[in-house]
Structure 1
Amino acid sequence: MRLFTRLALLSTMLLPLPALAQESNSTVGVLDAAKVPGVMARAVDGFIRPGYRHFTDQATAMQGAMQSLCSAPSPQTPDGAHKAFGDVVEAWSRIEIVRVGPAIEDNRFERILFFPDRKGTGLKQVQAALAKLDPSVTSVETLKGKSVAMQGLGALEFVLFGTGSETLTTTEGHYRCQYGTAIAANLQRLGAELSAAWDAPDGVAAAWKTPGPNNPLYRDEAEAAKELLGVLVHAAETIRDQRIEQFYKGDPKKALPRQAIYWRSGNTFRSITANIEGLRDLLDTSGMVDLLAEGNRSVVSSTDFVARSLSRVSADIKPDVAAVIEDPAQIAKLDFLLLNSRDLILRLNNDLGGGIGLAAGFSFSDGD
């Protein structure tokens, strides 16, 4: 009966979405090289730079919320820090899809988000730091030299929501609160570094906007277009492989809710939704549709339709991952995400990739 209920719910959800999970019918096009610099410029100025600025602003607000919590602990004051944490998670989740350039230099990405932590190494390091007074984790200047797993969103989530977080409501949690404040300051520092790197007039932004033989990153327009499309494909793969399948692969009995990202704070599906919305925003803002022949431009609208449907369903899933696994109606939504996240990958990789002149089936994430 439980399986029948899940299937019935999933079927109901799929009825209004007949375009999902269909085979590609797009043809291989020819890249319009003249339009690539404009697309890359819009991606930089309309999505990447604003995204890092917004993340930096939210990290700054997070730092302020932690300082307020530390200065006046009470049963009510953690609420502000909890809200600020959700906001900074959402801001990062939108821009984290750009896993290239400055984000991967100096391990910045892992410093902001060390996930998945398959062996629990990072968790153990954070727990050890909280178990014994260590002034070096309460200052951003010394914290930034420690393990990447101790200085980002995962560590801050444990400080605010993990075992022992109830002490934050009293002076007993002052050391824990100081550690959290240092993490927030470190997130602000990293965000500022990323913004500065993308704002530099002769830096990575210029390389994205001006592909050519003298460009150190992209020798021609095809390489630049491949980079941007690769960001989208890799983002879709990460949503499916590291966000959904990390804890759920289709069998509720084998689900691992505590393997889900941000499960302690209830931000799992808020983050996944922001990932999807970031992907949609980048696809739209960059104007990649301009790279397609007039007769093949429906590829972008159909891809966005799939992504929008995924976002709608993800946003409608309850925050408590453990409770989701016990609810057939919620499981049906997880099944929907599994089925159609695969379709999103294929549409980006095959349909959009083929449409702009790269052979269908090209694996951007493999770097081929």
Structure 2
Amino acid sequence: MIFKPSWRSLLLSTTTVFAVGLSTPGAKADIPDENYQPVLAHLLGTVMPPKIDEFHAASEELTEGFRDFCSDPDNGGLEETRAAYHAAMDIWQEIQPWRMGPLVANGRDQHIEYWPDKHGTAARQFRKLMFDKPAAYTDPEQLSGASAALQGFPALEEVLFADDHGNQMIAADENGVFLCQYGTAIATNLGTLSGELQAEWPDFATAMENAGPDSMDYPSAKFAATDLYRALHEGLLIISTQKLARPLGENAEDARASRGESPLAGRSLRNIEHNLIGLFAIYDGTWGDIGEEGQGLAALIDNSLLDRSFKLNWQTVADTVADLPPSVAEVLVQSDGYATLSDLKGQIEFLTMLVENDVGGNTQLGGGFNALDGD
């Protein structure tokens, strides 16, 4: 088995810590509102901006890579362009779960990545696009006003990884020329979207950091910090209920890797690995070499034993995902593949429970709200 057997024993250790906390007499005093402000300032003003800069730079490099490849297409250029796609997608998957402010304003997250596509909208629209080959879709500005299903990373995935599109672009036949022009327009539009995100984030971060009675949008710092807790909680829910549950289906016979995220690019589990990096930053306050340990939501938890146990459980899950192949398809073909992915889903659900009970309770930010269920 790929999975380490220790995660279930770690569940016991964290549950024990939580039970000890519950047995402590007396109600816990409210956290002063000013205690939330340093967390907001650190996560929104220090940790996230360099990552948005990184995403914009990766989008620009992807655009340049597409232009270079299409000016003189060959196999080497195709592989370099695919590598640029993966680099940009990696950082997007880390940013994606934050789901707040400029990330979701005007549906920006859906224009960057239209997923899940429950009704196959993108596939239908893409087939029609390739039949008609409208010139408007080779112009980034006109493309920005088109259906979200024909923009962003999934559309670019179709161009770079589906069928024989790569061969067509190298051959520079009629389809290949259109695909090159369309792909370059998608990448250029991604650069525009990431640039808008980069430009709008500072004002949003400042408004969150200055939350209080004088704010029109955030009447208290705790109210603002709830968005961070919600991003952490819902980010895990999306992994279990969409990124894993959709390809797993009802049972092993119903499992379909094609229902996962980024199936053509073969990175459905690689996406989850990067999701976990961005989500852990919300809790711990570090993102690679950016930030400071313990300055995220963890700064609000006055229980070092619980904090260590939570981090240990999270690291176990992160290591599990890192040890897996990058795609659901590669795991499902293994004899125990369905059980492996079901076990991973269980681990993510356990982390979600810890966030609801330990993090939500001790930061006083958990209130049972879940935008995914329509509440």
| TM-score of the superposed pair, with normalisation by structure 2 | 0.88
- State the Cα distance separating 1:276 from its structure 2 match: 0.6
Instruction: Measure how far apart 1:248 and its partner are.
Output: 1.3
1:329 positional shift: 4.6
C-alpha distance in structure 2 between counterparts of 1:217 and 1:189, whole Å: 27
Question: Is 2:4 the counterpart of 1:13?
Answer: yes
Question: How many angstroms does 1:358 deviate by?
Answer: 4.6
Q: Is the 8 A contact 1:313 1:333 kept in 2?
A: no
Q: Does the alignment pair 1:362 with 2:362?
A: no
Shift in alpha-carbon separation, 1:289–1:191, aligned structure 2, 3 A: same
Mapped to 2, the partners of 1:327 and 1:239 lie a distance apart of 21
Structure-2 separation of matches of 1:188 and 1:262: 20
Indicate the residue corresponding to 1:169 in structure 2: 170
Q: CA offsets per residue over residues 249-295 of structure 1, 9 Å max, x none?
A: 573222111001011111111111000111112221143222122xx
Is residue 287 from structure 1 mapped to residue 296 from structure 2 by the alignment? Answer: yes
2:292 aligned residue: none
Q: Which residue of 2 aligns with 1:6?
A: none
CA 1:329–1:367 in structure 2 vs 1: closer, same or farther (change >3 Å)?
Answer: closer
Quote the residue 2:80 is aligned against.
Answer: 80
Q: Aligned to 2:55, what secondary structure does the other structure show?
A: helix
Change (3 A) 1:300 1:190: farther
Shift, 1:167, TM fit:
0.8
Q: Which runs of 5+ in 1 are unaligned?
A: 1-8
1:325 partner amino acid: L
Give yes or no for the alignment of 1:339 onto 2:346: yes
Query: Once the two structures are superposed, what CA deviation does each residue of 1:39-60 show, in whole Å capped at 9, x if it has no partner?
Result: 0011112332122111111111
- RMSD after superposition: 2.1
* Shift of residue 309, structure 1, vs aligned partner: 1.8
Alignment of 1:206-225 (within 5 A): 206-225=206-225
Q: In the alignment, which of 272, 294, 307 is matched to residue 300 of structure 1?
A: 307
Contact 1:211 1:224 in 2 (8 A): yes
Q: What percent identity do the matched residue pairs reach?
A: 26
Find the counterpart in structure 2 of residue 316 from structure 1: 323
Offset at residue 305 of structure 1 (A): 2.3
Using the TM superposition, give the Cα deviation of residue 320 of structure 1 relative to its aligned residue in structure 2, in angstroms: 4.4
CA contact (8 A) 2:263 2:327 kept: yes
Change (3 A) 1:284 1:140: same
The alignment's TM-score, normalised by the length of structure 1, stands at 0.90
| Aligned-partner SS, 2:99 | coil
Change (3 A) 1:65 1:50: same
Deviations 1:47-102 (CA, angstroms, capped at 9, x unpaired): 32122111111111111111111011113221001101111111100001111111
Q: What does the per-residue CA deviation read over 1:184-228, in whole Å, with 9 as the maximum and x for residues that have no partner?
A: 0111110010111012xxx21112111101212221122122121
Aligned equivalents of 2:123, 2:254: Cα separation in 1: 22
Is the Cα contact below 8 Å between 2:66 and 2:183 reproduced in 1? yes
> Which one scores higher on RCO, CA 8 angstroms, separation ≥ 6?
1
Distance, in Å, in 2 between the alignment partners of 1:321 and 1:118 is 18
| Structure 2: gaps spanning 5 or more residues | 286-294
1:77 partner SS? helix
SS class of match (1:307) = helix
Match of 1:59 in 2: 59
SS in 2 for 1:118: coil
